[in-house]
Amino acid sequence: MFFVDTIEVPGLGNRGYLAGGPRGAVAVDPPRDVDRLIAAAARRDVRITHVVETHLHNDYVTGGLELARLTGAAYLVPAGARVAFERVAVADGDRFDVDAGLVLRALATPGHTPHHTSYVLEEGGHAVAAFTGGSLLIGTVGRPDLVEPRLTGELARAQHASAHRLAAELPDDTAVLPTHGFGSFCSAGDATGEGTTVGQERAVNEALVKDVDTFVADLLAGLDDVPAYYAHMAPANAEGPAPVDLTPPAPADAEEIAARLAAGEWVVDLRNRVAFAAGHVAGSVNFEADGQLATYLAWLLPWGKPVTLLAESPQRIAEAQRELVRVGVDRPAAAAVGAPADWLREGEEPRSFPRARFADLAEAYGSGIVVLDVRRASERAQGHIAGSVHVPVHEIRDRLGEIPGGTVWVHCAGGMRAAIAASVLDAAGRDVVAVDDSFAAAGPAGLPMARITPAEAGERTGPGAEAVLLDVREPDEWAQGHAPGSVSFPLSALTAGGDLPVAARHRPLVVVCRSGVRSRDAVALLTARGLDAVDVVGGMRAWVREGLPSVREHGNGGPTA
């Protein structure tokens, strides 16, 4: 019987695997801290005979080369990946014996990278598992834009073809075991769920249920920001990563911490955001050890800048080291354990800032404060607080000068990224309040939203309501179906400087289009005129999906349901 053990790397949203039989095993896409794979093999009492890479990774430093060296395993890397070390160059169709009756078959699946290769584990000639790396994920695929911008469209089409190849060649009961998709920024969409099969993906995966043109258009439209440290990962993996050193960093006392801050180095407090806000070393920044530490610290940290770690215990420091080596932040300059009282020089006081909920922000809103939204652009597009300033957390360090003066109330989707941004602002001497709350509470708290859901739009513009639903699609689109009582005013007329229809004058405006793109442009123009306007997330598409009423113009000009 075969086995598959999953090696979770939750901070990066990835998984590695150890799979094999009674005596031999293969390690797939191992993280850099390879002791976990070695321990897993020891528990199974198997020898790692093969270490395989599905592709040259863009989001983490691989442990494959070191694991192969330590175990004497064959190191399998796709032939198309240009690397500076000896390896077994893998081509489509190559087969490798893992154990008696257990074979690993290479399947070329370009798309995430040009050379991407999946590996099918066959027991007795039957495919039992497919290690799909960044190809077929749970419900989605790996993003195609991490290699070279000019290749993105071509790779997106290759992703579609590769997904279809996997679905065509593998039985429905084959387990799909991707490397990315559990929070990884290598995923092109939201990958939800813990496990899946080829049959399940055939029914729901966006690459398998959409035609290629629709798939590519939707895929490219949904691509989000790429962590800055990704630029350093593929070159490190191509060169051949050095072994990791997880020995404890040199201890730092209060004088050294102050000296490192004065030198412009980063001092990172790993405690939870509640403890940090209550008291911390002035100038330090907060990245919770329990959050996506490696992703966000490596994203914001100037590459190569020394970093000193502060935590409650040596264990926390060791855990942080392990996470950081996975993204190439190899050796902390120093570390200190304890609490702020241990990290401050005699006579120094800890710095602090308040935390709040969206209900507190609603009370303070309009009193001259700055509301700073540090979510990604794709999140903000789904709805945001009217009048808020938008600087994604990963850009906060370089855009501090764009944030208006005054007390800054910082929010994200849940509190973790707001805490990071608040700490960076606090270190720069700004007065901050960290909103530690779910963004879903913002609207119910009474904060004015710049974008609203179709259901909220229906409530605001229903019979007897003060607001009017302004449809900015073109007349032919309007005639095909629109909300009852809505007023037609095409965006083309608005951009030409046209006057609002009489029915929409002197009333709050809720703006809708087909998908939510044109309505955002319309709101920008309307608010520039001094009008009260919000737009509907998802447009009429979302309106219809939610079962809200729609009418269309009949041939005689009258409406019909």
**d(C-alpha 526, C-alpha 432), whole Å:** 31
Mean pLDDT over the full length of the chain: 94
Bridge partner list, 51: 27, 75
pLDDT band for position 192 (50/70/90)?
A: low
pLDDT recorded at residue 377: 87
Give the residue from 418, 425, 433 showing the smallest Cα distance to 397: 425
* DSSP-assigned beta bridge partners for residue 180: 14
**446 contact partners, CB below 8 Å, separation of at least 6:** 359, 362
On the question of pLDDT at 37 being above 90, the answer is: yes
- The CB density around residue 121, as the number of other CB atoms within 10 Å, is 25
> What's the average model confidence in pLDDT over 12-20?
96
Average pLDDT over residues 23-30: 98
- Using the predicted structure, report yes or no on whether residue 48 has a pLDDT greater than 60: yes
Cβ-based neighbours of 47, under 8 Å, separated by 6 or more: 23, 24, 25, 41, 71
Say what the pLDDT of residue 191 is: 61
Q: For the chain, what percent of residues have pLDDT higher than 90?
A: 86
Reported confidence tier of residue 547, pLDDT bands at 50, 70, 90: very high
Residue-level length of the chain: 561
Model confidence pLDDT, tens digit, residues 517-534: 899 889 889 988 888 899
Query: What is the spatial distance between Cα 17 and Cα 1, in angstroms, rounded to a whole number?
Result: 17
Please determine, for residue 341, whether its predicted confidence score (pLDDT) is greater than 50.
Answer: yes
Average pLDDT for 115-132: 97
- Answer whether 228's CB lies under 8 Å from 182's CB: no
Mean pLDDT of the region 1-6: 95
Among 513, 533, 534, 542, which one carries the catalytic annotation?
A: 513
Active site residue 186: no
Q: Would you say residue 400 has pLDDT above 70? A: yes
pLDDT > 70? residue 297: yes
pLDDT at 556 over 50: no
**Can you read off the two tokens belonging to residue 515?**
């998908």
d(CA 206, CA 214): 10
Q: Is the pLDDT of residue 348 over 90?
A: yes
Report the sign of the C-alpha dihedral through residues 476, 482, 484, 487, in that order: negative
Which three-class secondary structure state does DSSP give residue 80?
A: coil
Using pLDDT thresholds of 50, 70 and 90, give the confidence band for residue 77. Answer: very high
The pLDDT of residue 409: 98
